Amino acid sequence: MKYLLKNASVLYESEIKKRDLLICDGKIAGVSVSISADEDTNVIDLNNCFIFPGFIDVHVHLREPGFSYKETIESGSRAAAAGGYTDICAMPNLKPVPDSAEHLKEELDIIERDAVVNVHPYGAITVNEDGKELADLDAMAADVIAFSDDGHGVQNDDMMRDAMIKARSLGKIIAAHCEVNELLHGGYIHDGEYAKAHGHRGICSESEWGQIARDVKLAKETGCRYHVCHVSTKESVDIIRKAKADGVDVTCETGPHYLVLCDEDLIEDGRFKMNPPLRSKEDQKALIDGILDGTVDMIATDHAPHSAEEKSKGLEKSAMGVVGLETAFSVLYTELVKNDILTLIQLAELMSIKPGERFGIDTQIKEGNYANLCVWDLSKKHTVDPDKFQTKGRATPFAGRVVFGECLLTMVKGEIKWKQ
């Protein structure tokens, strides 16, 4: 199949330029100011639209195998396509946990059968993510994007050191959910003013940054490529900034909700409950500053769907996690780009180029690459309506928010996987 995408503004060679794209046999065959179409070419006129490299989310939960009532690989990857993502990295808190080649194969088989976009699985760091015994990293290395015990911090220092040494020998990243269990004290929202005013148990910031501080020391000692998941506190940003200056091979991500919201925005609704929690206004500012100075490398959604029942029990008793694949770009474009905090190019790089560089996924628009891309009409205004989501999850703190930007088309290896 041949496509000619005409008259769009394209993120190409680190600039946004008016270009036509010719796509043949799944790959970008031409990028030029003007390309003429053959008779057998499908021409799509994209005047006033933008083409970006396919977004890459290095932190999603697809829930299958084991919890398909929350999400499936098919529904989650379809949601990804609707949000402009061509590549997503699936976390390992599944049943069975992908902690061996045998367990990983169950997930790989479903991906092969059902995935709408490119799905890259994580392998677990420890057996059953229990933190007690190193998983079979050797057997999984060829088939996973990285290793993580997401949902659990690795509590034992020696276990994390051993994991980093093994991951380095395999050329793989350790992606860490940083959380010190003994500091949680049953908390479920940020230990800030809202928690105090409303009688909620809080999660202190040190439960996150304390383990990051440990891990960057271990990463320096072992030479491991280390990535910090869902950074949410100002102390975490400062620790990572200093570690980078010290030569540690560390990157980090934060989520759209941490950049746009803080604990002052909380209401008594499970759609505002996630882990880590929404932090203070000062933490939110530190994350934005970290993006602007390069400390925070990328944006990932931590897309974490649950059933309606699991999210209907208020802040205290609802399950932790919100969905984000279908709202990320439009929310961030509206709140950060239109308010002149980020440029459009910076946002696209945070969602595609930079995660791709770190995790070895190339969606850049250039001749010879697969046509993994998304098309957006940034003038389109709409209200976030969870009932229209492709994901099974409905819980988002952005429900009812008016945003700009609609994904018109997502293409994976030259095939249209989403069209509005």
The answer to whether residue 302 is catalytic is yes
Neighbouring C-beta atoms of residue 101, cutoff 10 Å: 16
* Rounded CA separation 30/4 (Å): 9
Amino acid at 64: E
* Rounded CA separation 145/58 (Å): 9
Which residues, 6 or more positions from 147, have their beta carbon under 8 angstroms from its beta carbon? 122, 123, 124, 125, 135, 137, 140, 163, 167, 172, 173, 174, 175
Query: 389, 323 in Cβ contact below 8 A?
Result: yes
The H-or-E segment that residue 201 falls in is none
Query: To which residue do tokens 């990243």 refer?
Result: 173
- Identify the CA nearest to 355 among candidates 48, 101, 59, 149: 59
Coil/strand/helix, residue 186: coil
* Rounded CA separation 394/386 (Å): 5
List the beta bridge partners of residue 42.
Answer: 3
- Identify the CA nearest to 213 among candidates 188, 236, 247: 236
- Strand ranges in 291-337 using DSSP code E only, listed in sequence order: 298-299
Amino acid at 54: G
Q: What letters, b where the CB count within 10 A reaches 16 and e where it falls short, cover 199-209?
A: ebebbbbebbb
Q: In the numeric block, which tokens belong to residue 384?
A: 């976030």
Per annotation, catalytic residue among 99, 162, 297, 302: 302
Task: Give, rounded to a whole angstrom, the gap between the first and last alpha carbons of the chain.
Answer: 20
* Rounded CA separation 323/114 (Å): 20
Q: Where in the sequence numbering do the catalytic residues fall?
A: 302
